[in-house]
A and B are shown apart, each in its own frame.
Chain A
């Protein structure tokens, strides 16, 4: 079952582009990565799905309900961690969390305590006294305390130290294991690679590609590095070779196609070293930007 169905969703802010004809589905129980550079339309998409803003055209459904019509009903089962966290400055952490919990029909006290302990959040400090990272922790706890079925994470790790990031990822994996669907937006590819099963790549307001993270890595490119005496770039002038670089006696390139063609070339050489690797998502990603 699709938890999120987006169809030809378009949003213009006056004349300036938000997103144009974006379509994708997110299935129940998956962690969907949504990557793109700043200003590509990641936040716009999330804000449309939360009906913080209204679409210019197209439709979006969450839990099989239209987001514009049934917004408040849908949001009962949604947790949202915005990229920039701001809360009522005068309130204490505990009061904000209680206020947040009071919107949901659940007794969240136990879970609130568990989550704050896990994130090492001090409950009795004033929001205005908190550092950015600590505010982010408040955001994480308030986004999760009502046990939502769908999580929107908009660049969630900014401001968290590496240790907290790891705890946070563990927490998200645990939630996911319970069946929670996660929509994870980021421009940091490493974290998407670590966490997500499927990714959508957005650039300049349009979806460039949607695929499994594995197929994205496997079916496309291999990263090849060959080291042999007297090697020059010309030795690997094959169809399917891109980004060919040679320095001293080492050649790097990306290859797409039948890998045997490369292996045959290599077998004719007296090599010192060979490596054929999966490219990182970062390297694939750069490809979409060129």
Chain B
């Protein structure tokens, strides 16, 4: 671990973290400010929802969730938070080490007296820190939103905390999958298409996974591994899928480390 690289990485990403964190906070608070209106006409709302085809409800990740409950409504907006978190984390993952090659600074960094493993670990820790800051802002804004707009209605604190924890697992998945992809392709020319593709791709897969019940898409997409509707309904993780998710994360990280240590840095010209 090199403090120098860690600080440099952290500082470089600071503006991006601020933009993502503020966007997510705004999304959560504005979205949740609609909750009182939904809760007021609870029976009407649930009746209306019941009339939508079940496939459509599944596609939006609503399923059997009671939209008039605090956490039911929160789980609905949480999918969009997840989408943001996925793109952000994938962005950091894909760009983590590839950005030095895209911007041709790898020669500078790796001719310094640091080992590949130090570079890798420092960069990874800096990305963890960036994601942790985003999480803190998300947690805080969610808490404030719930306190402000829940009115008289109560909610399970433990389930809310479960959702809070789930976002960390979720981000690490996209960070490490983005990272391994960036090391498997020959050259990453631009980070954004990969990050958007990975984030949106998995989101769409998850939506379709609701539409086609038989197809086991839930094994692939992290949006299903950590489906907020499931967590709110059961008050617990879908343990096998979460374990699968964590396993993919760990394997991707280990493989990325192995690949990066052996990587030939392409020459500039």
* B7 to chain A: closest residue by CB: A102
Q: Total interface residues on B, using CB and 8 Å?
A: 24
Which of A49-57, A185-193, A196-204, A244-252 forms part of the interface with chain B?
Answer: A49-57
Residue pair A54, B4 in contact (C-beta under 8 Å)? no
Chain A: CB-nearest residue to B110:
A52
Asked if A104 is an interface residue, CB under 8 A from chain B, the answer is yes
Which residues of chain A come closer than 8 Å to B269, judged between CB atoms?
A: 83-84
For the complex, give the distance between the alpha carbons of A72 and B12 in Å: 24
Contact (A52, B107) CB under 8 Å given A43-B267, A84-B269: yes
Q: Would you give the shortest CB distance from B200 to chain A, in whole angstroms?
A: 28
Q: Does A212 contact B (CB under 8 A)?
A: no
Chain B residues near A52: list those with CB within 8 A: 106-107, 110-111, 264-265
> Which B-chain residue is minimally distant from A77 (CB atoms)?
B113
Tell me the bound Cα distance from A88 to B103 in angstroms.
7
6 contacts between A and B (CB under 8 A): A52-B265, A53-B264, A75-B113, A82-B111, A84-B104, A103-B113
Q: Say yes or no: B108 contacts A86, CB within 8 Å.
A: yes
A73 on interface, CB distance cutoff 8 Å? yes
B-contact 0/1 string along A262-288, CB 8 Å cutoff: 000000000000000000000000000
Whether A82 contacts B107 by the Cβ 8 Å rule is yes
Q: A50-B110, A76-B113, A86-B107 are in contact. Are A13 and B264 (CB under 8 A)?
A: yes
A47 with B267: CB separation less than 8 A: yes
Q: Would you call the interface of chain A mostly helix, strand, loop, or mixed? A: loop
How far in angstroms is the closest Cβ of chain B from A47? 7
Complex CA gap A76/B118 in Å reads 14
Shortest Cβ distance from B151 into chain A, in angstroms?
47
Tell me whether B104 and A47 are in contact (CB under 8 A): no
Nearest-neighbour CB distance to chain B for A96, whole angstroms, equals 9
Per a CB cutoff under 8 Å, which of B113, B262, B264 touches A104? B113
Not counting A71-B115, A75-B111, A82-B108, a sample of 11 additional A-B residue pairs whose C-beta atoms are within 8 angstroms of each other reads A13-B264, A50-B111, A52-B107, A73-B113, A75-B112, A80-B111, A82-B111, A86-B268, A88-B105, A100-B108, A103-B112
Closest to A52 in B: B265
* A153: Cβ under 8 A from any B Cβ: no
Give the docked Cα–Cα distance between A24 and B5 (Å).
Answer: 35
Q: Mark A59-95, 1 if CB is under 8 A from B, else 0.
A: 0000000000001111110101011101111100000
By beta carbon, the residue of chain B nearest A102 is B4
Q: Per-residue 0/1 for B100-131: is the Cβ within 8 Å of any A Cβ (1 yes, 0 no)?
A: 00011111101111111010000000000000
Partner of A54, one of B2, B115, B262: B262
Interface centre among A44, A54, A73, A74 (most CB of B within 10 A): A54
Number of interface residues of A (CB under 8 A): 31
A248–B105 alpha-carbon span in the complex (Å):
57
Asked if A72 contacts B111 (CB within 8 A), the reply is no
Q: Closest residue of chain B to A152, judged by CB?
A: B111
Q: Does B153 contact A (CB under 8 A)?
A: no
**B8, B262, B267, B268 pick with most chain A CB within 10 angstroms:** B267
- Complex formed: what's the CA distance from A89 to B12 in Å? 11
- Contact assessment for A72 and B108 in the assembled complex, using a CB-CB cutoff below 8 Å: no
Q: Using A13-B264, A53-B265, A84-B269 as known contacts, say yes or no to A72 and B105 having CB atoms under 8 A apart.
A: no
Contact of A86 among B103, B112, B115, B118 (CB under 8 A): B103
Pairwise interchain contact A78-B111, C-beta atoms closer than 8 A: yes
| Cα–Cα distance between A142 and B111 once the two chains are bound (Å) | 11
Bound complex: CA A99 to CA B7 (Å): 10
- The residues of A that contact B110 with a CB separation of less than 8 Å are 50-52
Give every chain B residue within 8 A of A104 (Cβ-Cβ): 113
Chain B residue with the shortest CB-CB distance to A84 = B268
Residues of chain B contacted by A54 (CB below 8 angstroms): 262, 264
Q: Do the beta carbons of B104 and A103 come within 8 Å of each other?
A: no
Please name the residue on chain B nearest to A82 by beta carbon. Answer: B107
Contact indicator per residue, chain A 15-59, by CB within 8 Å of chain B (1) or not (0): 000000000000000000000000000011001001111100000
B268 A82 Cβ-Cβ under 8 A: yes
CB neighbours (8 Å) of B107 from chain A are 52, 80, 82, 86
- Chain B residues positioned under 8 Å from A76 (CB to CB): 113
- Give Cα A74 to B12, complex, Å: 28
- In angstroms, how far is the closest chain B Cβ from the Cβ of A175? 17
A90 nearest CB across to chain B (Å): 8
B residues near A50, Cβ cutoff 8 Å: 110-111
Contact call B104/A86, Cβ cutoff below 8 A:
yes
Alpha-carbon distance A116/B115, docked complex (angstroms): 28
CB of A149 to closest CB in B, whole Å: 12
